[in-house]
Amino acid sequence: MDQRTITMRCPCLLDLVIILSLTSCCMLSEARAPHSLEPDHQLGQGSPTTALHQRLRRGWIWKQIFVPEEDPTPSVIGQLKSDYDRGDFSIKYILSGEGAGEMFEINEYSGEIRTLQKLDREEKAFYLLQAHALARKSNEPVEPQSEFIIKVQDINDNIPQFQNEPYVSSIPEMCPMGTIVAQVTATDADDPLFGNNAKLIYSILQGEPYFSVEPKTGIIMTSMANMDREARDQYLVVVQVKDMLGLSGGYSASTTVTISLTDVNDNGPTFQHNLYTFAVLESAAVGTTVGRIMADDGDVGINARMNYSLEDLEESATFKIQTDPVTQEGVVLLAKPLDYESKRRFVMSAKAVNDHIDTRFLSYNEFQDRTTLKIVVEDVDEPPIFMAPDYEWKVLENMVAGTVVGTVSARDTDAINNPIRYSIDKSSDITKAFKIDPNNGTVTVAKPLDREEAAWHNLTINAKETKQNHLSSSVVVFIKVLDINDNAPMLAREYQPYICEGTQSGELIQLINAVDLDDPVEGHHFYFSMVPDKNINPNFTIRDNQDNSASILARRSSFTRRDRAHYLLPMVVADSGSPALSSTSTLTISVCSCQPAGHCPTGGVEALAISIGVSLQTLLGFLVCLATLTDWLC
């Protein structure tokens, strides 16, 4: 193997010689900056110098040693040799630093540096090591410690990877050539500073001739102008990236970019027919849908929105047209009542115009279209017609039977004008709470109503002709039952308050709330108080919190269960109705020997002890004795 020796000498210093393989591309250089003057160690017998003297210490700068990555074969990459090495193995070479003993080793006799395993540049790009030359007998250095770098040389062993996938982008249709669509970005873990291993080139595999990609930046652009969304709204562009500048032998990867064309207003509305004919019964109510027309628009979304209008004002006064926001149809509605005997046919013009006009693509007139409507009125025997589409009445609860709630009215619009009789659909008044006068449509209360049972009643009232075809119609009546103050308030739940032994005067014992079945317009307001008594309760007091709650407070201290286990506290809850209603409740307040956290036991042995008036210890002793006696008898 061809080798060369680089020898570097300093005055008064031992020389360090490194022999490097040319295949490893290794070089060594000397740093020229002196650090300090220090006394050297005195050498022993047989050393080249026996006198103590001052030596100039210099630092050694080792150029990098390059080692190819991923080479599994151990190999010699360099040699450390001292000028004092006479070949008698009196010099011991030592290698320390990053990877010493794991990645690299040195022959302590010859100074050869060898790799121990394959290296991966992507895991670690270089190693900083220290070289030592020691006298084998004295273990003293014969050369100053020096540092050098072993750099792992990159090979192309990584595939480019696209970042931030998936790629999705959109551009407006009809955009010019060269419009930037998106940018794809790939990275390569190889060394970007060594050769072409990490130099990437982008190209289009699928998507031409519509799109192109800038080879170095990955910017995708349109390469065709005026792409039409109505012809094709989505493209799948496959972009390939190759390392080594695209040369053969490199790695490649691909990604798919989904490109959608967004809509612009480049189409106007167009009617498919020049004439639309509809028929409508003369008995049709105002607001009845007569028919639907639609102008086609190849655009979508906001660009397809349109407004319809009727242009013949005299004819169209009987009708109106509205745009259905969902279907974009023109809905023709009856605006006035029809009379077959007066007018049997209407002819008018309808126009559709885009809401949003963009004159970059079409002229103003191309964003509208017209058609003709013909509406024929048909004669029918009409059923009775109610004067209102529905009725809504109000009545106070608990009103006496016979109270008038309201009146419905219907008429026969035919020339014969048949008499009409009214009735309540039984399925809508199961409880038979209302009656109706069959002749005049007056609805009355049949029995007192209770709002708390039913706040609303929805009646269906029928009107039927008494002659000819006996046609009928119906209307819905909504009856709201109004509240009166007929329920007294009560406590919100069954409270079980307790007071701990040792409670101080003024401490909160229980927070209470109230409920009321009534529903006053201004909301509930409850008042809490003690039951009126000639004597003031010495134990407890009630504080109205003015928020529909009240606090029970201790009036004194030193409550003990020995003195008394329970206290009864009557209290009054009143509402704000007119007249006001109230209820009286009695709370049972138990005295308890509370646990440290303030909890009062409500069951078990301690509760039993409280109930029979003995201490817990006494009761437990009694139970133990009873169990022992039972075992002895058995």
What pLDDT, on a 0 to 100 scale, did the predictor assign at position 440? 94
Evaluate whether 424 touches 374 at the Cβ level (below 8 Å).
no
If you ran DSSP here, which 8-state letter would residue 127 be given?
Answer: E
Q: What residues does 79 pair with on adjacent strands?
A: 19, 112
Residue with tokens 């007569």: 290
What pLDDT, on a 0 to 100 scale, did the predictor assign at position 91? 92
If you ran DSSP here, which 8-state letter would residue 192 be given?
Answer: T
Q: Which helix (H) or strand (E) holds 423?
A: strand 420-424
Tell me how far CA of residue 293 lies from CA of 284, 287, 370, 383, 625, in angstroms: 19, 16, 11, 29, 98
Measured on CA atoms in the order 179, 184, 188, 193, is the torsion positive or negative?
A: positive
Length of the chain: 634
Amino acid at 297: D
Strands 146-153 and 65-68 turn out to be parallel
Evaluate whether 358 touches 172 at the Cβ level (below 8 Å).
no
- How crowded is the C-beta side of 147, counted as CA atoms within 13 Å? 10
What pLDDT, on a 0 to 100 scale, did the predictor assign at position 630? 59
Q: Is 173 left (phi over 0), alpha (psi -120 to 50) or beta?
A: beta
d(CA 571, CA 574): 10
What pLDDT, on a 0 to 100 scale, did the predictor assign at position 4? 32
> Which of 162, 153, 104 has its CA nearest to residue 131?
104
d(CA 183, CA 220): 6
d(CA 244, CA 197): 5
d(CA 624, CA 634): 16
Amino acid at 23: T
Amino acid at 452: E
What tens digit of pLDDT does each residue of 78-99 get? Answer: 888 888 888 889 999 999 999 9
Q: pTM for the whole thing?
A: 0.44
Q: What is the CA radius of gyration of the chain?
A: 52
How far the first Cα of the chain sits from its last, in Å, is 105
Evaluate the omega torsion of the peptide bond into residue 144 and state whether it is cis, within 30 degrees of 0.
no
Phi, then psi, of 87 in degrees rounded to 5? 85, 10
d(CA 371, CA 365): 15
Q: What residues does 147 pair with on adjacent strands?
A: 61, 130
What tens digit of pLDDT does each residue of 279-329 get? Answer: 999 889 999 999 999 999 988 889 999 999 998 766 668 999 999 999 999
Map out the domains of the chain with their CATH numbers: 3-153 (2.60.40.60), 161-262 (2.60.40.60), 270-378 (2.60.40.60), 385-482 (2.60.40.60), 490-600 (2.60.40.60)
d(CA 86, CA 405): 129
Amino acid at 384: P
d(CA 335, CA 316): 9
Secondary structure E strands in 12-140: 16-21, 29-39, 54-61, 65-68, 76-82, 91-97, 104-106, 112-115, 126-135
* Crossing angle for the helix pair 604-612 and 616-633, to the nearest 10 degrees: 100
d(CA 347, CA 602): 87
Regions of the chain with pLDDT less than 50: 1-63, 603-605, 607-608, 610-611
Q: b/e per residue, 318-348, with b = 16+ CB within 10 A?
A: bbbbebeeeebbbbbebbeebeeeeeeebeb
What pLDDT, on a 0 to 100 scale, did the predictor assign at position 6? 30
Residue with tokens 């308050």: 497
The set of long-range contacts for 210-219, using a CB threshold of 8 Å and a minimum separation of 24, is 210/235, 210/237, 211/181, 211/235, 211/237, 211/259, 213/184, 213/239, 217/183, 218/183, 218/184, 218/185, 218/186, 219/180, 219/182, 219/183
Evaluate whether 577 touches 483 at the Cβ level (below 8 Å).
no
The distance from CA 174 to its chain's CA centroid, rounded to whole angstroms, is 35
Other C-beta atoms closer than 10 Å to the C-beta of 85 total 19
Strands 540-544 and 582-592 turn out to be unpaired
